[in-house]
Amino acid sequence: MTRPRVHETVADLRQGIAAARAAGRRIALVPTMGALHEGHLSLVRAARARAEHVVVSIFVNPTQFAPTEDFDAYPRDNEADIRMLEELSVEGVFLPSVAEMYPQGFATGVTVGGPSAGLESVTRPHFFNGVAIVVTKLLLAALPDVAVFGEKDYQQLAVVRRFVTDLGIPTEILGAPTVREADGLAMSSRNRYLDAGARRTAALIPQVLTQAIARIEAGEPAASVLAEGTAQLAKGGFAVDYLELRDAATLAPVGPQSDSARLLVAARLGSTRLIDNMAVARPASGWA
């Protein structure tokens, strides 16, 4: 096993990527905030299937955290992360400082409409501006052939696809399926904040999604199914931010034009906020 080359500056990252390109290799980027788990590793494997030179960025991006959120407490363990990436034979790790990404006087933003409306933006209005600027900068730094994002953050994936298309960034955006624990809970760096009781309760999220999807696909009216799902989560101890059915491609509310949909949820257990989503097929009788 070879330790990945660690790039701390954009200049060094570009030099590593230029050498790989000169050797005829395709480049894949997997943007992360570290605290890697099996979900991230599945993104790395998807990247490896598409490229001979895989770079994983590890950067806890301050602009996507509100002052009230867990930026300082966000888990960081670069050495453990690099060891996991070494086992997957990743070629490069981009580990920039905040000053490298946001130089003194930084004053530029990327604001995305469309899929960023509602859902996460209701409780985290700053979030997609922060994601859009940092992902734009990461893509411009690496100019990869393909960049891989998890479907776990489905709205984020839709927002990234939107601005990459709108800005003409020449990178293919690949969505990779959510990796789940044995009881169905989506893997997340935030799951480590759950104590044993909360961890058991958290499995209610995928259960509610799965049951609601079966009923919607069987033709039951979505509004009543979602109201019951919300009540079930609340009874289980969650404070529910949203449980919503959206068009899978645009994230607009589902309408007759929607070929498929996505059921998305965000709910808090104590101070831990969990999100998840699953695909919904159009019912034979149309959306009710």
Interface residues with ligand PAF (CB under 6 A) are 31-33, 61, 64, 131, 134-135, 153, 156
Beta carbon of residue 130, minimum distance to ligand PAF (angstroms, whole number): 7
Q: Based on CB atoms, which residue is closest to ligand PAF, 189 or 207?
A: 189
Instruction: Find where tokens 């293919």 sit.
Output: 172
Please list, residue by residue across 102-139, b when 16 or more beta carbons sit within 10 angstroms of its beta carbon and e when fewer do. beeeeeeebebeebbeebbbeebeebbbbbbbbbbbbb
Q: Based on CB atoms, which residue is closest to ligand PAF, 159 or 185?
A: 159
State yes or no: is 40 an active-site residue.
yes
SS3 content of the chain, % helix, strand, coil (to 5): 40, 20, 35
Q: Based on CB atoms, which residue is closest to ligand PAF, 213 or 251?
A: 251
Beta carbon of residue 33, minimum distance to ligand PAF (angstroms, whole number): 4
Q: Based on CB atoms, which residue is closest to ligand PAF, 138 or 202?
A: 138
Beta carbon of residue 259, minimum distance to ligand PAF (angstroms, whole number): 26
Catalytic-labelled residue, pool 7, 37, 40, 126: 40
- For β-strands 260-269 and 239-247, DSSP reports them as antiparallel
Of 217, 246, 207, 242, the closest CA to residue 227 belongs to 242
Of 37, 160, 40, 31, the closest CA to residue 92 belongs to 31
Beta carbon of residue 127, minimum distance to ligand PAF (angstroms, whole number): 8
Q: Which residues are catalytic?
A: 40
